[in-house]
Structure 1
């Protein structure tokens, strides 16, 4: 149905049992899609090898400065959204890179924390849109 958006992850078992799938708003759908784009490595989607975000090509580049990482993340996220999320216009992507010490089972580790903010306008209704998330790289992990 046009204008109906489904929550991720999809529960296809419910579809087989003819249950209604959980729905979400347009804003939630766009946010879910941006999160999926950011966390998908190029080539991971077998139907479209270009789907995903270029930033994972340099996930293990520990020599890059925070400013270089910031620029790469902003360009990669922006390019992925422009290509695959047509429901947004007037797009602005901002990344903030910092170092954070994490307590892990194997001991303390220092990782790069990347906070990504996406602002724009929803093309359907001209409402402002905001998405914000963070993750750690080298290697990728979430809170």
Structure 2
């Protein structure tokens, strides 16, 4: 239905039971899509191999400095969001890269923590929008 946004992941059992699917606001829908977009590897979507974030091609580049990683992520995320999230305009992307120790029994691991903040304006109503999330790289994990 046009103008209605649905919660991800979708629960298709609701359709089979002839119930309404869970709806979300425009802001929540944009946030869900951005999360899906930036955690998808190029080529993972078989219908559109360009869908996703090209950053993941460089995830294991251990020679890259934190500043290089930050710039690469900002560029890749802005490109992906600009291309695939047309409900958002005036897009700005800021990334922060930090080392963080994870206490995973029985070992402790050091990982790079990436915090990504995306801000812009919703094209439908000109309201300001902000999305912020973080994930750990090499290999990818997120909370």
TM norm. shorter chain > 0.5: yes
- Do 1:95 and 1:115's aligned partners in 2 also have CA atoms closer than 8 Å? yes
Aligned residue for 1:93? Answer: 93
2:46 matches 1:46: yes
Distance 1:93 1:75 in 2: 8
Aligned residue for 2:113? Answer: 113
Aligned residue for 2:142? Answer: 142
Structure 1: 5+ residue stretches without partners: none
Distance 1:89 1:17 in 2: 38
* Deviation sequence 1:40-85 (CA, Å, 0-9, x none): 0111111111100001101111111000000010001000001100
Distance apart, 1:98 and its partner CA: 0.5
2:69 matches 1:61: no
Distance apart, 1:105 and its partner CA: 2.4
- Do 1:73 and 1:95's aligned partners in 2 also have CA atoms closer than 8 Å? yes
RMSD of aligned residue pairs (Cα, Å): 0.8
- Equivalenced residue count is 143
Distance apart, 1:137 and its partner CA: 0.2
Distance 1:141 1:43 in 2: 19
